[in-house]
Amino acid sequence: MEISRKFDGRKFMWDGAEYKEETEARGALESYLSNGFDAKKIEEGGAFYVFTRKVATEVKVEGKA
């Protein structure tokens, strides 16, 4: 499985797990969604995969000005 994929022109990262059951993948998907991530679930080759992305809502810059 590739580490990232584009859905609707936006880049998502694979969560690194291969789910054998759709219910497992759906549970992971729901967990990501409840934690503020955008997430997608796909089926490929008889296994399920979850891809996530999260938009930064705050940017911190450290160092001397």
CB distance 27 to 50 below 8 Å? no
Q: What is the pLDDT of residues 1-41, one digit of tens each?
A: 899 999 999 999 999 999 999 999 999 999 999 999 999 99
In a domain, 19, yes or no: yes
In a domain, 16, yes or no: yes
Residue 24's domain comprises 4-53
CA distance 51 to 40: 5
In a domain, 64, yes or no: no
What's the mean pLDDT in 34-59? 92
How would residue 65 be classed by pLDDT, with cut points 50, 70 and 90? low
In a domain, 33, yes or no: yes
Q: What is the 3-state secondary structure (H, E, C) of the chain?
A: CCCEEEECCEEEEECCCCECCHHHHHHHHHHHHHCCCEEEEEEECCEEEEEEECCCCCCCCCCCC
| Domains held by the chain: number | 1
In a domain, 58, yes or no: no
Q: Give the per-residue pLDDT at 4.
A: 96
